[in-house]
Amino acid sequence: MNIYGIKREDLEQYFIDMNEKKFKALQVFEWLYLHNVDSFYKMTNIKKELQDKLNRDFSLDMIAIVKKQEDKLVKKYLFKLFDNNYVEAVLMQHDYGLSVCISSQVGCNMGCAFCESGRLKKVRDLGAYEMVMQIMLIERNIKKRISSVVIMGIGEPLDNYDNVLDFIKIINDPKGLAIGARHITLSTCGLIPKIKDLMEESLQINLAISLHAANSELRDKLMPVNKAYKLPSLIDTISEYIAKTHRRVTIEYVMLDSVNDKEEDANNLADLLKGMNVYVNLIPYNETNHFEFKRSSKEKIMKFYDILKKKGINVTIRKEFGSNIDAACGQLRSKEVKA
Ligand code: SAH
């Protein structure tokens, strides 16, 4: 087991099971996440026989950054995993701090028609430690603390539910990476049963839903997941989520030229979301060589925005980062891995 994928409560149990005091877990966490030591033998307040035991039971090996591309406000990292798979993460500098977009799987099985990450099928889920390390390695690389995390890189996080939840708990732990729950956003294409599970967890994280269409026929074409979990049920589930968690939900809507950006689409979207505690994030599409989809013009995006606004929907247009360094959505990995 890699130690960076272990929650503090599980480490406490590990110590309790061998008749040790549970605060040892806290001490280990401080060594790992505060002092960044790379060996159990550097944990000087842990006695030798326990150091030996930890060393036998856990690994401290880190994945590696193998490539970095940067632009003014964005840095893109490619990581090589122990089994020679690759994943990527993106660091963005906002006015309010630094955020990292991390990957949750190697590849993705959701098969969205416009998405580069899904062109390469899922090889495997990431372990919690591999998600934690994406953040740790970036913090070490820039020698600064990350203030927010979005799980919007390669993969469908709710298709890797248990590991993603462990990851969230580790980075949210005040003795772990101490990233506030309200600064963590999980983005999903809409796996309804898992959204229902998530609402029972009483986490204060932000949920973002990739909607991308205001009617089920179009959503079927863009997002195969819609064939299993239909738009009307998804909207009901989002309402249920909001009622249960009292948290506002983000609706992501990627702007695809002449596909989902007509006035009629904006009106339908506004009607669909009317009265719900949501805000819509319009995402200018990042074009890739592999798909025919084009980005909607600025004018069309503005028009769409105005319609939603007039109809009383909270809406923003996503600031763009890194489209000229392949920072968008699985493009770096997809260059490394030939498909
Ligand atoms: N599987 C999750 C998270 C990863 S995708 C989800 O579907 O939400 C993160 C977001 O980027 C999703 O809204 C996705 O639809 C969008 N996206 C994918 N490819 C894109 C592209 N080329 N340009 C802009 N957004 C894209």
Structure tokens at 175: 């003795």
23-44 tens-digit pLDDT: 999 999 999 999 999 999 999 9
pLDDT of residue 331: 59
SS3 88: strand
Ligand 1 contact, 187 CB (< 6 A):
yes
Pocket test for ligand 1, best of 99, 110, 187 (most atoms within 8 A of CB): 187
Q: Is residue 324 predicted with pLDDT exceeding 80? A: no
Ligand 1 contact, 114 CB (< 6 A):
yes
- Is-contact 173 7, C-beta < 8 A? yes
Distance 157 CA to ligand 1 centre (A): 12
Q: Which atom of ligand 1 is nearest to the CA of 212?
A: 15
- Is-contact 193 155, C-beta < 8 A? no
Catalytic residues: 88, 329
Ligand 1 contact, 328 CB (< 6 A):
yes
Distance 54 CA to ligand 1 centre (A): 39
Q: Is residue 203 predicted with pLDDT exceeding 90? A: yes
Of the chain, the percentage scoring pLDDT greater than 90 comes to 89
Domain with CATH 1.10.150.530 in the chain: 3-57
User: Count of CB atoms within 10 A of residue 237's CB?
Assistant: 20
Q: How confident is the model at residue 339 (pLDDT cuts 50, 70, 90)?
A: very low
Average pLDDT, integer, range 169-183: 96
- Is-contact 122 339, C-beta < 8 A? no
78-106 tens-digit pLDDT: 999 999 999 999 999 988 899 999 999 99
Ligand 1 contact, 188 CB (< 6 A):
yes
Q: Is residue 330 predicted with pLDDT exceeding 50? A: yes
Q: Which residues of 94-117 are buried (b: 16+ CB within 10 A; e: fewer)?
A: eeeebbbbbbbbbbbebebbbbbb
Residue with tokens 């690994």: 59
What does 13-67 look like in DSSP terms, one character per residue?
HHHHHTT--THHHHHHHIIIIIS--S-GGG-TTS-HHHHHHHHHH-B----EEEE
68-80 tens-digit pLDDT: 999 888 999 999 9
Q: How confident is the model at residue 220 (pLDDT cuts 50, 70, 90)?
A: very high
Domain with CATH 3.20.20.70 in the chain: 64-337
Distance 254 CA to ligand 1 centre (A): 8
- Is-contact 123 106, C-beta < 8 A? yes
Ligand 1 contact, 158 CB (< 6 A):
no
pLDDT of residue 160: 98
Q: How confident is the model at residue 313 (pLDDT cuts 50, 70, 90)?
A: very high
Mean pLDDT of the chain: 94
pLDDT of residue 36: 92
Ligand 1 contact, 156 CB (< 6 A):
yes
123-162 tens-digit pLDDT: 999 999 999 999 999 999 999 999 999 999 999 999 999 9
Fold category of 64-337 in CATH: TIM Barrel (3.20.20)
DSSP state of 290: T
Structure tokens at 339: 């498909």
What number does CATH give the domain 3-57?
A: 1.10.150.530
217 CA to centre of own chain:
27
User: Count of CB atoms within 10 A of residue 294's CB?
Assistant: 13
